[in-house]
Amino acid sequence: MKLTFLGSSHGVPAADRYCSSLMVEIGESTYLIDAGAPIIDCILRHGKTPMDIKTIFTTHSHGDHINGLHHYIDLVDWYYKEAEIDVFMTNEDVSNAMIHMLEVLRGAPYHADRIRMHIAAPGEVWNDGTLRVTYIPTRHMEPRASYAILLEAEGKRVLVTGDMSWKMMKHDFPTIVAEEELDLVICEMAHFGVPELTPYFETCKAKEMWITHVWPPEKFEDIKALNGKYSYPVYTAHDNDVIEL
Ligand SMILES: [Zn+2]
Ligand SMILES: [Zn+2]
C-alpha cells in the first residue's frame, strides 16, 4: 500500500500546502480520502487520470475536506467520459448540493451511472476485494456526521482520524487505536495539541504515526519533540510525502 499526501494543511491552504487529501494506491487500484485539495490537478501531477481513481471517501463535509470534489466530478461528468467514480459523502444535503451544482452548470441531468454518490454510515462501506473501508463515527461536527476511516488492504491496517472534537473535549479519538494493532495512524492536529493527545499516544498500538492538518505552525516543534517518547515513530506530513507499507 502506498499513501501520498496530496494536501496536508488544516482548514486554510498555505503557500506549500493544500487542504486535506490523501491518495491511496494498492496494486493497480487508486482511491482518495478527502478532497480538500484541488484533487484533479493533484492526481494529474502524480501521473494519474480520473480513469485511474476508483473511489473518493470523505471524512466529513467541511470545505477543507471536500472543496476540490466538485471540480473533479464536474470534469468526470462532461470531459472524462470513460471515467467512473464512487463518492462517499457524509451528509445527504451536501451530496444533493453537489449534484444540483453539476446539473445547473451543465443545464442537463448529470451522469448518475458514472458518478455514483453514496451516503456513508458507521461500519463497513466498501469492500472491492482489494480495499476494505470502515467508517468510525467521531463527534467533530455534531449533530452532523463525521468519521475516522479504517483502511485494510494487503494485510495492512491504517486509521485516518479525520477531524475530531475541539480540544478533544468529546473524547472521540477512535478507541481502535488502543485496542487493536495498526500499521499506521494518520492523525489530525488542528483542533487540539500534543497535551490533549498524550493519553491517546500513550496507549496507541500503531507501528507508525503521521500527524497532518497541523495548526498553528508552532505545533510542528511539539510534534518533533515526540520522537523517541513512544514505541513508534511520529512524523509530520507535508504535501507529496509518501508512505509505503
Ligand atoms: Zn479540517
Ligand atoms: Zn472539519
CA of 161 to the centre of ligand 1 (A): 11
Q: Containing H/E element for 101?
A: helix 92-106
CA of 141 to the centre of ligand 1 (A): 10
Q: Give the chain's radius of gyration (CA, Å).
A: 17
CA of 151 to the centre of ligand 2 (A): 20
Nearest ligand by distance to the CA of 165: 2
For 71, residues 6+ apart whose C-beta sits below 8 A from its C-beta are: 38, 39, 40
Query: Ion ligand 2 — residues with CB under 5 Å?
Result: 62, 163
Task: Report the CATH number that the domain containing residue 43 is assigned in CATH.
Answer: 3.60.15.10
Nearest ligand by distance to the CA of 60: 2
pLDDT of residue 67: 98
Nearest ligand by distance to the CA of 12: 1
Q: How many domains does the chain have?
A: 1
Residue 18 pLDDT class (50, 70, 90 cuts): very high
Give the pairing of strands 2-7 and 132-137. Answer: unpaired
Residue 14 pLDDT class (50, 70, 90 cuts): very high
Q: Are 149 and 124 in contact (CB under 8 A)?
A: no
- Its domain, for residue 156, covers 2-244
Cβ-based burial of 208 (10 A; exposed 0-12, middle 13-18, buried ≥19): middle
- pTM for this prediction: 0.97
Which candidate, 75, 24, 20, places its Cα nearest to that of 51? 75
